[in-house]
Amino acid sequence: MASERNVTRLAVVLGVALLAACATGTGRGKTGAASIRAGSTGAAASVYRGGTILTMDGDQPRYAEALAIRDGRILAVGTDDEIAALTSESTRVVDLDGRTLLPGFVDAHGHVFNAGFQNASANLLPPPDGEGTDVDGLVEILRAWHADGSSPLAGSGMIIGFGYDDSQLAERRHPTADELDRVSTDVPVLVIHQSGHLGAMNHKALEMAGYGAQTPDPPGGVIRRTADGKTPDGVLEEKAFFRPVFAFFSTLKDETNERLAEAGVAAYVEYGYTTAQEGRASRANAEVWRRLGAQGKVDIDVAVYPDIQTEADYVTSVGTRADYRGRVRIAGVKLSLDGSPQGKTAWLTRPYRNPPDGQPADYAGYPAIADPVERQRYFDLAFQKDWQMLVHANGDAAADAMIDAIDAAGKRFGRGDRRPVMIHSQTVREDQLDRMVELGIVPSFFSMHTYYWGDWHRDETLGPERAARISPTASALRRGMKFTEHHDAPVALPSSVMVLHSTVNRTTRSGRVLGPEQRIAPYVALKALTDWAAWQHFEQDSKGTLAPGKLADLVILDRNPLEVPPANLRDIVVLETIKEGRTVYRRP
């Protein structure tokens, strides 16, 4: 048992921490803690001890010997003796057996519903996540998926594959409509590029989409053509791709959508995420989450950000929320300003090293919204409504557009503490980081690119100089910026350990280090996955660190990331995911 002095000290710590945690407010993301009085006689429901407990609280690693939970929240964090004073015969004591406990991971940017869609589609990902290595292989995978018929999408009337990557295919190009006709000429075939910004269709699907030789390219999109310059070859970019895909999503039954959403959550908890993001939701998609939440079917928190271009009226009608209902909340809005660097549709200020076929040497991508007046209208609306904005900006020209629009909207409506997030921030320059600090723009980096597409960026899209600065985390850190790291599932698997590994090592598929000066320490990378990610969501009072009064959102790893050789971080295994004290995933 703890000494009287230790018990008194623990009570003081509990009292101070819980007074701060229980202070409710009207500010975005502030959720009050359960009312636990210092010196309360109630015992802990469960205690974790016997391993490494990494609190993630502070600028340097801090450890505890034990952690106590009651009513879904952390009751106390301290020494074995201190926590023993809070136990009773009914307390469940969990021996970590030398494993590592830390706060549950917070998804800084992803698409949890589409992660379920990915899980239900034919897996066209290249190694190590799949077997999509050449066009012939893609055709065989799609045929096998169609013949199996067990997917929730099997009754959709389409053959669907997700995750092919032209940069990793033997042919170094996208599959064509002619090649996808080998899968079927009677059933529409849709394959989605790993970036989610491009795709390809067979002729049946192109016909159903209304794409023919006389169809013009839509604003912000490209229908790639055959040698005659007119006939669609099957490959679609950006808005030309999104239009038929979103139309397809609208035909799915409620039951199918719910199964896909639940599959997305199942994918996330396997990697230790206790908070997920729906990073570009339609009205229908948002309503799926709200319906599941009302039915108590969502195991982890889901922060939903509807697309402001198409769903501004919807967000106005339902409003944004600081608190979760049924573990779901409308958290803000999403706006996309450009495309994908690996797909050569990101909007840059300097040309691509090797432009796509048919494009001139000065090709530098293109904006998703060409009219600056229209772009500004969305920023002004979000600032006027006090909505947090997630803004997709991969290329530095897109980053310029965002920064300028945030500056203008802030002058009109006041800056406040809105925490607008630049999603991806892939090619952001040093001068842009300076302006982001000034304007309070949060960079959310996609450092997984250094592994999955690092060689492609160095040799094909950006060249060595610009590729070395993809996701410049160290540059942000030198400026004292809080930044986050994400996986952008389903662009990549929602693998927290791969995010950590890529951010720390910046090693490409070929084993070369891309921009060694931008590497950061494992602890900082973990902050970007926990503490700072919670802060980005305005949820720092309830998540991100292990502290009394915060939600008991936890993850158990097989070893301590701070003691593993950096090159082996990707080998860490998530053993258990715990949401508000309840296990939602345990590794078989």
- The C-alpha atoms of residue 373 and residue 378 are separated, in whole angstroms, by 9
Look at residue 252 in the predicted model and tell me its pLDDT.
86
As a whole number, mean pLDDT of residues 162-176 equals: 94
pLDDT of residue 37: 32
Pick from 76, 34, 83, 56: nearest CA to 540: 56
- For residue 128, whether the previous peptide bond is cis, meaning omega lies within 30 degrees of 0, is yes
Closest CA to 490 of 522, 457, 452: 452
| Amino acid of residue 159 | I
Helix ranges restricted to H, 363-495: 372-385, 396-413, 430-439, 449-452, 454-456, 464-467, 473-478
CATH class of 1-98+545-588: mainly beta
Q: What is the mean pLDDT of residues 168-183?
A: 96
| Position 536, amino acid | Q
The domain locations on the chain are 1-98+545-588, 112-249, 337-487+497-520
Q: How far apart are CA 398 and CA 392, in angstroms?
A: 8
Q: What are phi and psi of 178, to 5 degrees?
A: -60, -40
Query: What integer pLDDT is reported at residue 38 of this predicted model?
Result: 33
Helix (H, G, I), strand (E, B) or coil at 254: helix
Residue 48 token pair: 């974790």
**C-alpha distances in angstroms, 247 versus 209, 242, 244, 252, 315?**
9, 8, 5, 10, 21
102 DSSP assignment: E
Distance separating alpha carbons of residues 31 and 53, to the nearest angstrom: 24
Average pLDDT over residues 344-354: 97
At 39 the pLDDT is 36
pLDDT in tens, 2-53: 333 333 233 323 322 322 333 323 233 332 223 233 334 479 999 999 999 9
Q: Pick 303 or 24 by higher pLDDT.
A: 303
Cα-trace Rg, the chain: 24
pLDDT tens string 395-407: 999 999 999 999 9
Residue reference for tokens 């002058």: 411
Q: Which two tokens stand for residue 572?
A: 């860490």
Mean pLDDT computed over 503-520: 97
Q: How far apart are the first and last CA of the chain?
A: 35
Dig out the tokens for 93 from the structure.
Answer: 């004591």
126's tokens = 């290249």
Could you count the other beta carbons within 10 Å of the beta carbon of residue 565? 7
Residue 280 has pLDDT above 80, yes or no: yes
239, 216 Cβ separation under 8 angstroms: no
- Domain 112-249 class, CATH top level: alpha beta
How confident is the model at residue 251, as a pLDDT? 85
pLDDT tens, position by position, 544-582: 999 999 999 999 999 999 999 999 999 999 999 999 999
Mean pLDDT of the chain: 92
The model scores a pTM over 0.85: yes
337-487+497-520 CATH: 3.20.20.140
Residue with tokens 């799915």: 252
CB 76 within 8 A of CB 550: no
Grouping H, G, I as helix, E, B as strand and the rest as coil, residue 573 is: coil
How far, in whole angstroms, is CA 413 from its chain's centroid? Answer: 29
- Give the pLDDT of residue 557: 98
**Pairing status of strand 122-123 against strand 105-106:** unpaired
Q: How far, in Å, CA of 451 to CA of 129, rounded?
A: 13
Written as one string, the DSSP assignment of 271-318 is TTEEEEEEEEE-HHHHHHHHHHHHTT--SSEEEEEEBHHHHHHHHHHH
Please tell me the predicted confidence (pLDDT) of residue 14: 32
Q: At what angle do helices 283-294 and 112-120 cross, to 10 degrees?
A: 90
Percent of the chain with pLDDT over 70: 93
CB contact at 8 A, 345 and 392: no
Give pLDDT, residue 94: 98
Question: What is the chain's length?
Answer: 588
Sequence-distant (6+) residues with CB within 8 A of 389 are 308, 332, 333, 334, 335, 379, 382, 418, 420, 421
| pLDDT for position 155 | 84
Tell me the one-letter amino acid at 53. I
